Amino acid sequence: MLAIPSRHRSLALLGVMLVAQVLLLAAQIQGEGQMRLIRVWAVELITPVQIASSWSIHKVKAAWGGYIGLRHTREENIELRRQLAQLQIENVQLRSRAAEADRLANLLQFRQAHANAPMLAARVIGASPDSASHILFLDRGSRDGVKRDMGVITPDGVVGKILAVFPGTSQVLLLSDKDSGVGALLATTRTQGPVRGSGERLLDMEYVSKDEKVVAGDAVLTSGEDRIFPKDLPVGTVVQTRPDPRTPFLVIRVRPAAHLDQLEEVLILLTRQDLEQPQPSAQASSSATPAASTTSAPASSRPSEKPPVAPARP
């Protein structure tokens, strides 16, 4: 124990006695509301401590709860992101299936509309790695009756021709390839001229005289004289025309009717049988004569000044 000097013992004792007396008086004296004074003092003394401790405990609980909540929120955020990624993948798959269903429905509708012409549906399974070569691979081959130089189309128009045939697959030379071509004519004037690929998105229609009136928007159809495609299949639409200063012909640029860069399913023509086309509105059906059918006459009956149409290069 701490030793108290003898000269201070009396003062310490006096102090203790005074404090004891005050406490005894406080215990006996009652203030307002019949509450003893010592209790009031005790409450006043303890209240700041309680306030401080309560504030500290509240802050600690809030910090701990925020930490736990943050951990749970982070875990929930990771789970929600995973679910969102999964839903996005499923959404893309559903859109792809819907687009495929639309394409197959168009193929089926086209096939049913031309039930008399033998066709074979095929799926595109690959493409040539050479950027300069526009070749696709199909999942149909010689076992399915596919032969070289058969025409390949979609409901939109001409795609190309069969280049090579294997037992289970075949190659298609697209119309946009530089080595590809098709006998064609202008739908408005029936002027003939071969359409050849340029290696680009647009095609070139050749050997059309400068005297012919050709404007952007004119439809280009197959002529049937290349012995690959039947007549009047859509080839494309004229987008640009200008005179060639070096030749007596026009330079005609044609946009393909088929989406050659978005092919997934195609139809292989197993015969050159002409497809039934929508009949034009009758203007003078009563005056129809046998001479009106001369448009289907052989190519030898056409005017001799037209340049011969070369068949598509193999």
Q: Could you tell me which residues come within 8 angstroms of residue 198 by beta carbon, excluding any fewer than 6 positions away? A: 176, 178, 204
Q: What is the DSSP string of 276-305?
A: P-PPPPPS-GGG--GGGGGGGS-GGGS-TT
Q: With bands split at pLDDT 50, 70 and 90, how would you rate the model's confidence at 311?
A: very low
Q: Which of 152-161, 205-214, 278-287, 298-307 has the lowest mean pLDDT?
A: 298-307
Asked if residue 151 has pLDDT above 80, the reply is: yes
Mean pLDDT of the chain: 79
Asked if residue 289 has pLDDT above 50, the reply is: no
For the chain, percent of residues with pLDDT exceeding 70: 76
- Read off the pTM: 0.59
> What's the pLDDT at 117?
78
Q: Which of 86-95, 99-108, 169-178, 265-274 has the lowest mean pLDDT?
A: 99-108
> What's the pLDDT at 312?
43
Torsion from C-alpha of 258, 195, 182, 105, nearest 10 degrees? 10
Asked if residue 76 has pLDDT above 80, the reply is: yes
Q: What is the DSSP string of 140-202?
A: --GGGT--TT-EEEETTEEEEEEEEE-SS-EEEEETTSTT-EE-EEETTT--B--EEE-SSSS
What does the alpha-carbon distance between residue 34 and residue 53 come to, in Å, rounded to a whole number?
29
Residue pair 312/161 in contact by the 8 Å Cβ criterion = yes
Q: What is the pLDDT of residues 175-185, one digit of tens each?
A: 999 999 999 99
Residue pair 112/143 in contact by the 8 Å Cβ criterion = no
Q: With bands split at pLDDT 50, 70 and 90, how would you rate the model's confidence at 4?
A: low
| CB environment 99-120: b (16+ within 10 A), e (fewer) | eeeebeeebeebeeebeebebb
The residue written with tokens 């050659």 in the block is 260
Q: With bands split at pLDDT 50, 70 and 90, how would you rate the model's confidence at 66?
A: confident
Residue pair 158/258 in contact by the 8 Å Cβ criterion = yes
* DSSP three-state, residue 30: strand
What does the alpha-carbon distance between residue 239 and residue 195 come to, in Å, rounded to a whole number?
14
Asked if residue 25 has pLDDT above 70, the reply is: no
Residues 42-68, mean pLDDT to the nearest whole number = 78
Residue pair 191/207 in contact by the 8 Å Cβ criterion = no
> What's the pLDDT at 30?
61
* DSSP three-state, residue 139: coil
Q: With bands split at pLDDT 50, 70 and 90, how would you rate the model's confidence at 288?
A: very low
Residue pair 239/216 in contact by the 8 Å Cβ criterion = yes
> What's the pLDDT at 101?
81
> What's the pLDDT at 51?
83
Q: What is the pLDDT of residues 239-264, one digit of tens each?
A: 999 999 999 999 999 999 999 988 99
DSSP state at residue 249: B
Asked if residue 193 has pLDDT above 60, the reply is: yes
Asked if residue 6 has pLDDT above 70, the reply is: no
Asked if residue 295 has pLDDT above 50, the reply is: no
Number of H helices, E strands in the chain: 2, 13
Who wins on pLDDT, 7 or 19? 19
Looking at mean pLDDT, say which of 41-50, 51-60, 102-111, 214-223 comes out highest: 214-223
- Phi and psi angles of residue 147, each rounded to the nearest 5 degrees, phi first: -130, 160
What does the alpha-carbon distance between residue 171 and residue 295 come to, in Å, rounded to a whole number?
34
Q: Which of 37-46, 101-110, 202-211, 226-235 has the lowest mean pLDDT?
A: 37-46
Residue pair 176/152 in contact by the 8 Å Cβ criterion = no
Q: Could you tell me which residues come within 8 angstroms of residue 266 by beta carbon, excluding any fewer than 6 positions away? A: 121, 122, 124, 138, 152, 153, 154, 159, 172
Rg (C-alpha) for the chain, rounded Å, is 47
Q: With bands split at pLDDT 50, 70 and 90, how would you rate the model's confidence at 225?
A: confident
Asked if residue 290 has pLDDT above 50, the reply is: no
